[in-house]
Amino acid sequence: MRTRMRLAVSSALVTGLAGAVISVAATSAHAAAFGLQEQSTRAIGRAFSGEVADTGPESLWWNPASIAGSPAEAYGSVTGIFPNSSVTDTGSTLTLPVPPAGLTVPVGGRSKADNPILEGVVPAGGFSTPIGDRFAAGLSIAAPYDFVTKYGASSFARYEGLKTRLNTADIQLTGAMKAAPWLDLGAGLDVVYTSANLENASPNLAPGAPDGFSGVHGDGWNLGWNVGAQFHPADAKWRVGLSYRSAVVHELSGDVLVSGLGGPLAAANMSTHGTAKFTTPWIATIGARYPLTDKLTLNAQVQRSGWSEFKDITINLAGGAEVIPQNYKDTTSVAFGGDYALTPAVTLRAGAQFDPTPTPDVGRTVRVPDSNRWLINAGGELHLNSHLTLEGAVEYVDFRGSRVNSQTAFYQGTAAESVADYSADASANAVVVSGGARWRF
């Protein structure tokens, strides 16, 4: 019984670790599921439309071909994310193994969590340099998943999450070439570091007894790749870009801590080691830029994200392995925008994007109260001189609201199995503010 219970408790906790890694950014109020788009101030200004067809290191996240033919240039940006969110209990319950048929009670605690998504800062940067007349090399650093969520110890949501922290760094090494006067090609290698921390409550068996505590920390390095092309015929005004970013298999190694469990669960208190494995989606993007007039350039972009790659989480512990289904679905986002050269020194931008959620309607959790959303963006840049350009942008994200419908099992496979059934309404919006600069050498 002790071995089985330890494995069951540990599996629940490491499952939480993997869930934290996947869901922390999913609860962030500005990108579908756990994808973070804010890798460039210029891109935010026009709602991420046409980035795959633009040039320079600021577009490397969207297309490694963007630096072919570009002068030596560096950029950096800092983006602040200011969400406003709430998750409200609508009848969540906890079923305890009380004979003969179990005892189902309300999960209790505060029925509404205000602003569980904390404010965050997202940095990004990179540079590129030509190598001869045809080749170029570049390096960029992005934070594709980076956020913190926090529920109070007395919140109804405590069994699915007290605190979740996720930090990532994607270091992309890129090579590009002018394959023809009308064709640029590029390829990149992504070195991805992920660090996550999760804390959540675990129920004791006696009704009204204080909760136990579960804490997990894990990190790891993993690899991905990306390729892209840009078409720009000399006799045409338009520029078209295509890119593909590979799925990435993430393996995290971490420490698991369980404490505060009493009675027959006391043997499950532990400090041990575990790993989690999951896959983030591939991304295929097509976009175009078309100068309608000497001042106005129109942008459009369609992005298909292979969220079905995130089909499960595999948990490995000393006592065995467990596979937890996730069942995300592929999505397609669409963005339109424009750049307007107000003067030779000032360019204004605006755009909008529709970004659907990949989370399933059945199984959406308190950790991932994701929903379809609209992005409305504006921005601009100021050319101070031939070398330095300053950029600014603002984004408003309007969520459509979502319904939480999930079930979390504790001590699964033992006589102590307890089940938390969550039912809640979630709503959110966010304001994103970004500033950046480009420097041409």
* pLDDT tens-digit series, residues 146-186: 778 889 899 999 998 888 777 889 999 999 999 999 999 99
Q: What is the mean pLDDT of the chain?
A: 87
Quick one: pLDDT at residue 142?
94
Q: How far apart are CA 115 and CA 220, in angstroms?
A: 29
Listed in sequence order, the residues at least 6 apart from 235 whose beta carbon sits closer than 8 Å to its beta carbon are none
* Structure tokens, 184: 């640029």
Task: Write out the residue range of the structural domain in which residue 201 sits.
Answer: 2-440
Q: How many residues appear in the chain?
A: 441
Residue 135 has pLDDT above 90, yes or no: yes
Q: What is the pLDDT of residue 33?
A: 58
Helices marked H in 225-284? none
Q: Cα separation of 328 and 362, whole Å?
A: 11
CA 233 to chain centroid, in Å, comes to 36
Cα–Cα distances (Å) from 309 to 146, 329, 376, in that order, read 20, 8, 29
Q: Which residues, including other chains, have CB under 8 Å from residue 180's CB and lie 6 or more apart?
A: none
For residue 20, the surrounding DSSP H or E stretch is: helix 2-23
d(CA 101, CA 8): 21
Task: Select from 274, 97, 284 the least CA-distant residue to 203.
Answer: 97
Calculate mean pLDDT across residues 45-71: 96
Nearest by Cα to 206 from 96, 92, 94, 95: 96
Number of domains the chain is built from: 1
Confidence category of residue 23, pLDDT binned at 50, 70, 90: very low
Would you say 49 and 301 are in contact if contact means Cβ atoms under 8 Å apart? yes
Q: Are 60 and 128 in contact (CB under 8 A)?
A: yes
Report the candidate in 173, 107, 110, 116 with the shortest Cα–Cα distance to residue 139: 173
pLDDT reported for residue 284: 97
* pLDDT at site 79: 95
Q: Domain holding 426: CATH number?
A: 2.40.160.60
Please tell me whether the peptide bond between 100 and the residue prior to it is cis, using omega within 30 degrees of 0: yes
Query: Is pLDDT at 245 greater than 60 in this prediction?
Result: yes
Contact 300, 338 (CB under 8 A): no
What are the b/e assignments for 231-240, b being 16+ CB within 10 Å?
bbeeeeeebb
Residue 201, judged by CB atoms within 10 A of its CB (0-12, 13-18, 19+), counts as: buried
pLDDT tens digits for range 326-338: 788 999 999 999 9
In the chain, the percentage of residues whose pLDDT exceeds 70 is 92
